[in-house]
Amino acid sequence: MKTITLILLCFTLNTLIVCAEDVHLVATQLNGNLVDPVTSKPPTSPAYVLLLPVHSADIVVINPVVFTTFDVKAIGLVIKGAVTRGILTPGSRLGIDVGPTFKPLPDEQIKELSDYCKKLGISVGVAPTA
């Protein structure tokens, strides 16, 4: 009985590892007809794009979710929704890439998002800005 339980446990863990996804949150500049309602100028701060995978049949399609600011609560809610819907599984990894063009995110914001994601079973890593 112990052997069967161990085999089932190993199979379950392997399945979770295979289902885990790497998702990315990337900083980019918005272009187009967008203007800041206060200054009537184009935004100078970056927008953040969360690239979520959507599995359909045998292909993976990327579903981008755009945030005009780095709002930890809004990003966290989208990630929570992706976990709830099975798009992301515990063990997945969120990579944050701000790049050298924009100033780095404050450590407290990254820690807040990391703590929230950790509760969901998602690890967070920040790409180095070179």
H or E element, residue 30:
none
Question: CATH number of the domain that 76 lies in?
Answer: 3.30.420
- Model pLDDT, residue 99: 81
- How many whole angstroms separate alpha carbon 110 and alpha carbon 27? 14
Q: How many CB atoms lie within 10 A of CB 4?
A: 8
Instruction: Please indicate, yes or no, if residue 47 is contained in any of the structural domains.
Output: yes
- Model pLDDT, residue 130: 58
From the list 90, 115, 99, the residue with the least C-alpha distance to 107 is: 115
Instruction: Please indicate, yes or no, if residue 7 is contained in any of the structural domains.
Output: no
Instruction: Please indicate, yes or no, if residue 85 is contained in any of the structural domains.
Output: yes
Instruction: Please indicate, yes or no, if residue 6 is contained in any of the structural domains.
Output: no
- Model pLDDT, residue 13: 43
- Model pLDDT, residue 10: 45
Whole-Å CA distances, 90 to 15, 74, 113, 120, 127 = 11, 19, 15, 7, 21
What is the extent of the structural domain holding 29?
A: 20-126
- Model pLDDT, residue 35: 64
Residue-by-residue pLDDT tens, the chain, 130 positions = 555 544 544 444 444 344 467 888 888 877 665 666 676 665 567 889 999 887 666 666 678 899 988 999 999 999 999 888 888 888 899 999 988 878 888 999 999 999 999 999 999 998 876 5
Q: What angle do CA 43, 95, 48 make, to 5 degrees?
A: 15
- Model pLDDT, residue 102: 81
- Model pLDDT, residue 98: 87
- Model pLDDT, residue 95: 92
Instruction: Please indicate, yes or no, if residue 4 is contained in any of the structural domains.
Output: no
Number of folded domains that form the chain: 1
